[in-house]
Amino acid sequence: MGIGSVILCGLAFIGVAVSPAITSREPLTIPFDFSRSSIGLDVTVKGTPLYVILDTGVDPSVIDLARAEALGLKIERQDGGDASGFGDGKGATVFPSSIDNLVIAGHTFTPFDALASDMTGLSAHYGRKLDGVLGYSFLVDKIVLIDYPQQTLGILNQASDAMPMVSTCRTHWTTPLKTVENIPVITNFHFGAAKGRITLDTGSNGGISLYQSALDMRGVRTSLSEKSAITFGGARGDGKVKSYTFNASVGFGPFILPPGQVVTVRNEKGSKGTRVANVGNALFAAMKLKMLLNYRDRSMTFYGDCR
């Protein structure tokens, strides 16, 4: 991708606690909009249609400030702070809030914590109006199945509800759902011969974003061939990174992609003890995965080679 291409990065915000949000009792399966390599959903809040994305890399959820005001949602302006996350500028001002009366395909969800923030810049990078982001405060008590081949999202009552949707998959791999800053972590991601911890970020429409600490792992730096610069939008405004071809295989468990994947390198340090890279939807879609993220029981199961 050349200059002007966009990666909508996962967001990280500070300044508000997370409270659980409980789903409706019946399982739900709905299509999502993957036209921009993000998990876009049509929802309503207080009866008003909104467009949001599902983002495992944001804590808590987010609602556009103007939308929150128009909907009459609680906004605690006295407790405003700055957003943290990707981007080269100052974080946008955010205010503690909550999302009430969220309805997805007729299923109503109880209120959950959010931050209200001006999402104009992110909308511009995304290519359409974004009204909000469903993040950890929404997911914290949920079991969700993200089906990249079929582009559907399941919000399940129990893990067994996923069985009809994964019964044709010939490969699966289960690992504990561990987190860094409430973002799911895969602990042994392969970068050629090296292994490191990565965060699983469905708010990123890119593939692999390496942190500086990844460059110190065996064989990683020498496997990079520079391609071009990429412009992205994040919680702290615009930023630019270099993209590279990675001349070694990448993946986790039994799911491996061949050499030649495009990666970016960020200025953030990261660490081997936390994460050396952030991985987004482009890679999971390339692997044709179905991901069962069980926040309730703290486990993740990945399904592939599905007929």
pLDDT digit string (tens) for the chain, length 307 residues: 222 333 444 444 444 444 444 444 678 999 999 999 999 999 999 999 999 999 999 999 999 999 999 999 999 987 666 655 444 444 578 999 999 999 999 999 999 999 999 999 999 989 999 999 999 999 999 999 999 999 999 999 999 999 999 999 999 999 999 999 999 999 999 999 999 999 999 999 999 999 999 999 999 999 999 987 676 655 555 667 899 999 999 999 999 999 999 999 999 999 999 999 999 999 999 999 999 999 999 999 999 999 9
CB 199 within 8 A of CB 225: no
* The CATH number fitting domain 164-306, selected from 3.90.105.10, 3.30.365.10, 2.40.70.10, 3.90.79.10: 2.40.70.10
CA end-to-end span of the chain: 31
* Digit-coded pLDDT (tens) for 157-186: 999 999 999 999 999 999 999 999 999 999
- pLDDT of amino acid 227: 86
Q: For 11-160, which CATH class?
A: mainly beta
| Nearest one of 89, 60, 86 to 209, comparing CA atoms | 86
Tell me if the bond preceding 60 is cis, omega within 30° of 0. Answer: yes
pTM higher than the cut 0.95: no
Nearest to 214 by CA among 190, 181, 185: 190
Q: Which residues pair with 185 in a beta bridge?
A: 178, 199
Domain extent listing, the chain: 11-160, 164-306
Q: Residue 164: enclosing H or E segment and its boundaries?
A: helix 163-166
Amino acid occupying residue 93: T
pLDDT recorded at residue 25: 63
pLDDT digits (tens, 9 = 90+) for 200-223: 999 999 999 999 999 999 999 999
Same fold, 11-160 and 164-306: yes
If we measure between CA atoms, which residue out of 217, 233, 232 comes closest to residue 277? Answer: 217
